[in-house]
Amino acid sequence: MNEYIEFFKLLKSARKEDKIMNSIIIDGCVAAGKTSLMNIIEEEFRYTPFLEPVTDNPLLDKFYYNRKRYSFPLQIFFLNKRFAMLKEAAKIDGTVMDRSIYGDVIFAKLLADNQEMESEEYALYKDLLANMLEHVEPPKLMIYLKSSTDDIIRKIKLRGRDYEQVVEREYWEQLNKEYEDYFSEYNISPLLVVEVDNLDYVHNERDREYIISLIKNKLKEIR
C-alpha cells in the first residue's frame, strides 16, 4: 500500500475536532515558486505570511553535501520549526505559509527509501510527527504547485544557490515523484493543483491574474 495513504489515515485519526485553520498553505518541489506565490497572496488577500525556515538554517547547506550524515538532524530541525510556525499561525486569522508540517514527511520518506536516513531514525521521526499532528488543524486550502523535473532544475540553476547545484538530477526526479504521489492521496483539506511549468506569475501580469483567479474561485467553492 502507498505509504502516504497510511499517513493520511493517521492524520484523520489524530484529529479530535473538525476545526479548520484560516490559512492557505503552498507546497511543491524545490524551486517550484512557493515563496513568490506566497508574496502575491499576502498582497492580494492581506494574509500574514510565514516563510519556510531556510535562510536561518545552519544544516541545510551541509545536508546537500552529505545527505546521509545530516538527513535526520535536518528533518528534526524542520519539524520543530514548522510546528512552532503553526502554533504562531493559529493565533492569527488569515495566514499564508510557504510549506508546512504536512508535506515534511515527503523528504523524510525519500531519504529513508534511499537509505540516507536509518530505519530507526525514520521510525522515530514518524512517531514524533504523529504526536505533533494531534495538535495541528488542517488549512482552509492547500495549493500544490506541480512542476516537471526539467522546470525545477531550470529554476534551481537560475536562483543559483551553491548547495543546490551539487545535487544530482536523480534526486530531483525522485523528490518530484514523491510530491506527485503524496498529492495524489492528499485528502485532509481542499486542494488546488496548479501546473506551473508555463507560468511566470512574478513577471507576467496575465499569469499573475490567472493564478489569483484560480485561488479566488477555489475559495468561493469552499465557502
Joined together, the cell numbers standing for residue 111 give: 531519504
| Residue 87 CA, distance from chain mean position | 17
Establish whether 98 is a catalytic residue. Answer: yes
Catalytic residue among 27, 98, 104, 151: 98
Residues taking part in catalysis:
98
